[in-house]
Amino acid sequence: MAEQKPIEAIIVGGGHRSLTYAELAEIDPNALKIVGVADPDENRRKSISERFSIPSEHQFETAEELAVVPRFADVVINGTMDHIHVKTSIPLLKAGYDILLEKPFAVNEKEARELVEVANEYGRKVMVCFILRYAPFYRQIKERILAGEIGDVLNIQTSEYVSYHHMSTSHVRGKWNNSDRCHTSMLLAKCCHDLDIMVWMMGEDKPVSVSSFGSNIQFRPENAPENSGTRCLVDCPLVDTCLYSAKRIYIDHPDRWAFYVWDKLEHIENPTIEDKIELLKTSPYGVCAYKSDNNVVDHQSVLVNFKSGATGTHNMVGGSSRGLRTIHITGTKGEIFGNCEDGSFTVQKIDPAPGCEYTSEVVNTFVDGDAHGGGDIKLVKDFVDYIREDKMSVSCTSIETSLLGHLVVFLADESRENGGKVILL
């Protein structure tokens, strides 16, 4: 059998997620080859081009520039910022490219439906990067449900606890801290994964109504420690003791959030700690966590009603000691529960025989070195199969199905803004 030609891909938006997906080209060159890049940042464009040996004629500043030249690849990996996903994708769909599109694939219902319509009109494949579906933890739970092991699902409870350093980096100081700028809510930016998981686990039982409550309790000026400054490394005497000190989070641990915090130093080959300290004196990441211009919630609860009468709840809590995702699914014959970070779940089944008790099985799926439980590269491999052979695994669904989880998020935020009002899909 002849060896298959790799799928040729263009990176549009050379951020952290795009480069994570592009790693498959280095892991398995027979599956994926990176042949182009579009990114407005010259240093990032140059770095990506050198890494993947991209010729100058295949380097572009924008998706619009790329869309007007003759198509020279099979697909696009779109990792641009959330609010321009649709704007950058539509010209590329019309130009003939299938797309691997980072989540959330749109920031409102109107844009989401527009993207679905264009993809269908032009016969293009769009796969949304719902990575958690590919983590063995969630995938094996889905397979157990499909096998009927716990009967019909009555209730799903999911939770995401966003660690204090993740919360402060991304949603208090960083790119997703202000919905007026990033055009996404906290729930959309952080938890569209979780609500997609909920809808995906329910299968053909579709959501019909949503209600939600949430607010920002912690990260407010009135909660700032007494005598605190406005910038951690400029005027704050609490720089060595505050939980959210930029020095403690970013200087004492300079590699943890490097891709985000040190992006303005990418032109320096080996930036020093002194370079990083100077950057924090003017960077958004050096602002007091209690005195930033963030306007997103730090906690939110969502209640979903499904067509069958089954229910689902999701709780997002920001500022926890440890980042953690949990799930608990109860069916008519048993239940499944566990947490993704530990990589294990328990299957308990009703068993009256030993004295009205139950059987219990612990399943270990732990995958180290991947923030999404082993889903990153599995997702890209699945995308390659989807493009090559129109083959869809249990984790891969159409853009129409991916839309459902987004709709739950959009309506949950609408409900929250209206005091928890129940809103119909």
Residue 163 belongs to domain with CATH number:
3.30.360.10
The Cα-based distances of 164 to 48, 184, 214, 219, 322 in angstroms read 31, 20, 18, 11, 7
Q: Where in the sequence is the domain holding 237, given as residue range(s)?
A: 221-286
Mean pLDDT across the stretch 56-66? 97
Distance, CA of 106 to CA of 113 (rounded, Å) = 9
What residues contact residue 56 under an 8 Å CB cut-off, 6+ apart? 49
Residue 416 and residue 379 in one domain: yes
Q: Does 193 reside within a domain?
A: yes
Residue 416 and residue 301 in one domain: yes
Residue 38 and residue 100 in one domain: yes
Mean pLDDT across the stretch 197-210? 96
Question: What sign does the CA torsion over 51, 52, 55, 57 have?
Answer: negative
Q: Which two tokens stand for residue 373?
A: 């439980």
Residue 96 and residue 172 in one domain: no
State pLDDT tens for residues 243-265. 999 999 999 999 999 989 998 99
State pLDDT tens for residues 345-367. 999 999 998 778 899 999 998 76
Distance, CA of 291 to CA of 40 (rounded, Å) = 30
Q: Does 322 reside within a domain?
A: yes
Mean pLDDT across the stretch 14-25? 93
Counting the structural domains of the chain, the total is 3
Residue 321 and residue 419 in one domain: yes
Q: Which residues of 343-365 are buried (b: 16+ CB within 10 A; e: fewer)?
A: bebebbbeeeeeeeeeeeeebeb
Which residues does residue 376 pair with via DSSP β-bridges, in sequence order? none
304 sits in the region (left: phi over 0; alpha: psi -120 to 50; else beta) called: beta
Distance, CA of 15 to CA of 26 (rounded, Å) = 17
Q: Which residue has the tokens 């602002």?
A: 287
Looking at the predicted structure, is the pLDDT value of residue 1 above 50?
Answer: no
Domain boundary at 265, 286, 307, which?
286
Residues 243, 164 contacting (CB under 8 angstroms): yes
Residue 152 and residue 36 in one domain: no
Residues 23, 48 contacting (CB under 8 angstroms): no
Residue 1, classed as helix, strand or coil, is: coil
Q: Does 2 reside within a domain?
A: no
Number of helices (H), then strands (E), in the chain: 16, 15
State pLDDT tens for residues 80-123. 999 999 999 999 999 999 999 999 999 999 999 999 999 999 99
Q: What is the pLDDT of residue 267?
A: 84
Residue 367 and residue 301 in one domain: yes
Residue 378 and residue 314 in one domain: yes
Q: What is the pLDDT of residue 353?
A: 85
Q: What is the pLDDT of residue 398?
A: 76
Residue 229 and residue 167 in one domain: no
pTM higher than the cut 0.75: yes
**Any idea what the Cα angle at residue 137 is, between residues 378 and 259, rounded to 5°?**
55
CATH number of domain containing 95: 3.40.50.720
Looking at the predicted structure, is the pLDDT value of residue 420 above 50?
Answer: yes
Which residue type sits at 206? K
Q: What is the pLDDT of residue 397?
A: 75
Q: What is the pLDDT of residue 177?
A: 95
Q: What is the pLDDT of residue 369?
A: 56
The Cα-based distances of 59 to 11, 30, 86, 95 in angstroms read 10, 23, 21, 17
Residues 128, 44 contacting (CB under 8 angstroms): no
State pLDDT tens for residues 185-199. 999 999 999 999 999
Residue 183 and residue 317 in one domain: yes
